[in-house]
């Protein structure tokens, strides 16, 4: 069972974060993130490079994304160059940037 870590909505972190489990961002991170799975919650914001296997975005990501599986939900706002294997986006999500399939 993978461990789940949280960055709560009252936190701002400046710096790089890495882990082997699931990371949930409800606050703000300015830096690079490496994890197995990442959930950017509706109030979550990331400014930096994201390298994960599974990425779910409900909040805001600005920078670069490299992920095996990317899910961008309706509430998301993404301004990033994205490299992916599988990609899904819900209607209403705001996206801007380049998209490159690894396949």
Q: What span, in angstroms and rounded, lies between the C-alpha atoms of 31 and 1?
A: 27
Residue 98 falls inside a structural domain = no
* pLDDT at residue 48 in the model: 98
Q: Which residues of the chain have pLDDT under 70?
A: none
Cα–Cα–Cα angle for 26, 32, 101, nearest 5°? 95
| pLDDT for the residue 61 | 98
Q: Is 103 within the bounds of a domain?
A: no
Position 101 in a domain: no
What predicted TM-score, i.e. pTM, was given to this entire model? Answer: 0.95
Report the domain count for the chain: 1
- Which pLDDT score, from 0 to 100, does residue 103 have? 75
Q: How far apart are CA 15 and CA 85, in angstroms?
A: 27
Residue 68 domain boundaries: 4-92
Q: Report pLDDT for 6.
A: 95
């Amino acid at each position: 069972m993978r461990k789940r870590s949280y960055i709560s909505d009252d936190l701002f972190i400046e710096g790089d974060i890495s882990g082997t489990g699931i990371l949930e961002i409800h606050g703000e991170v300015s830096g690079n993130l490496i994890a197995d799975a990442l959930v950017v919650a509706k109030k979550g914001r990331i400014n930096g490079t994201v390298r994960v296997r599974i990425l779910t975005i409900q909040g805001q990501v600005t920078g670069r994304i490299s992920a095996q599986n990317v899910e961008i939900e309706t509430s998301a706002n993404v301004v990033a160059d994205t490299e992916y294997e599988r990609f899904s986006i819900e209607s209403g999500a705001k996206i801007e940037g380049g998209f490159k399939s690894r396949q």
